[in-house]
Amino acid sequence: MTERKALFIANQKSGRAQPNELEGAVRILEESGMVLIKEESEDPAHINELIRQRRNEVAAVVLAGGDGTMSSAAGTLSECGLALGILPTGTANDLARTLAIPESPEAAAAIIAEGRLHAIDLGKVNDRFFINAAHIGLGVRVNRNLTPDLKSRWGRFSYAKSLIDSFRSMRSYRADIVCDGESFSVHSIHITVANGRFYGGGMALSEEAAVDDHKLGLFSLEPQSFWSFLSHSVVMLGGKLQGREGVFLRSGERIRIHTSKILDIWADGEFISQTPACFELRPNGLQVYVPEHYFKQEKTGHAEN
């Protein structure tokens, strides 16, 4: 195995990038001296199978895809001890935004070519890994309503459009929560457990949240009027939910959630499990190629891409 050998997998289902952009990204990687084993797949199980098959031949895996692609492969990459190179070609690309990786595949490839690695945390719910955030309630309905047509027409703002459309038909539930041993009971329409800073096309629980702070952030939204909900949604774009009425926020390393009825859990745009749920962290669970200015972003708390 050589340190400059990588498995390159393009998820053709994540179709934002044009073929010439991916060709340009591949050219940049190869001109940097990286030897690529090229594959294509849109099936998460197959992507993970490819990674396991090549684990002893490569030091890294370059994935061209969206947040769901990155998240579905995260556990296998961590298990195999392989670094992740991100070529963001999805709709939201929240992990790339969190790590200050530009959306241009060619610019993202240049970052991988520089070879600067940084360890990020992984979230885990009921033995399934995720990177950005997991949702219960309203967030699940939002993801279900994110049709290919909606994504195509609204792009990154399709999440906000689906969020508003889904709110009106959402029903509440009771959730019993234990966060690092402390118990709470909430009446909720939506719960998010976040590992990274951004999710849902740029929303954030707090300005301080980071994908490498060794904490999970918890956000629960009480039943409320549409206009209150809309004001919270706008504030979430700035990560300033702390102290707002109808909002429950906590952070910790281990979170248990039991709901009054069994509810689906979606993470990074994909169905992942159901309640009851146990959320845990794998600190420094994955090495990712990042730009130099990511470290400046950590100090200022603001993304630069």
Q: 186-219 pLDDT, tens per residue?
A: 999 999 999 988 887 777 777 778 899 999 999 8
pLDDT at 1: 47
Domains along the sequence of the chain with CATH: 5-116+290-300 (3.40.50.10330), 128-283 (2.60.200.40)
Contacts of 244 (CB under 8 A, 6+ apart): 232, 235
Local confidence band at 299 (pLDDT 50, 70, 90 cut-offs): very low
d(CA 25, CA 17): 11
Locus of tokens 């402390």: 182
**All residues at 6 or more sequence positions from 127 whose CB lies less than 8 Å from its CB, including other chains:** none
Query: If you average pLDDT over each of 165-179, 191-205, 207-221, 275-289, which comes out highest?
Result: 275-289
Q: How many residues does the chain have?
A: 305
Share of the chain above pLDDT 70, in %: 86
Residue 154 has pLDDT above 80, yes or no: no
- Structure confidence at residue 304 as a pLDDT band (50, 70, 90): very low
Please list the residues that pair with 119 across neighbouring strands: 287
Average pLDDT over the chain reads 86
Contact 119, 49 (CB under 8 A): no
DSSP-assigned beta bridge partners for residue 192: 135, 219
CA distance 124 to 216: 10
264 Cβ contact list (under 8 Å, min separation 6): 136, 140, 271, 273, 274
Specify the higher pLDDT residue, 259 or 157: 259
